[in-house]
């Protein structure tokens, strides 16, 4: 079921730009992982790396990276819902 919906729910990322950032490696692993236990570890590692990177950026202008980070956060939410079976966030 998930693989059929993948193209609908995954947003694209600019891979060359993201190679240098600490949150990209666990994100790439999460995108490829199918084992739920390992996948959850990669999801948490990516969330933590994103959190620290957002703090590092502060008010510094890095809009391409911020957009890629928002895309990664959206992808993590999709992984949680469609791969890990978490309930979706209700829309108001």
Write the pLDDT tens digit of every residue in 50-76: 999 999 888 877 789 899 999 999 999
Q: Percentage of the chain surpassing pLDDT 90?
A: 59
Where along the chain do its domains lie?
A: 22-83
Assess contact for 85 and 22: CB atoms under 8 A. no
Burial class (CB in 10 A: 0-12, 13-18, 19+), 28: middle
- Segment holding 70, helix H or strand E: helix 63-78
In angstroms, the CA 83 to CA 53 distance is 25
pTM of the model: 0.73
Q: What is the pLDDT of residue 79?
A: 96
Which letter, b or e, does each residue of 43-71 get, where b requires 16 or more Cβ atoms within 10 Å of its Cβ? bebbbebbeebeeeeeeeeeeebeebbeb
């Amino acid at each position: 079921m998930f693989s059929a919906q993948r193209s609908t729910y995954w947003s694209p990322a600019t891979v060359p730009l993201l190679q240098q950032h600490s949150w990209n490696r666990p994100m790439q692993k999460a995108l490829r992982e199918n084992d739920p236990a390992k996948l959850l570890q990669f999801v948490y590692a990516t969330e933590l790396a994103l959190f620290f990177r957002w703090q590092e950026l502060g008010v510094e202008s890095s809009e391409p990276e911020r957009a890629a980070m928002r895309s990664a956060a959206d992808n993590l939410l999709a992984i949680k819902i469609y791969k890990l079976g978490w309930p979706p966030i209700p829309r108001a």
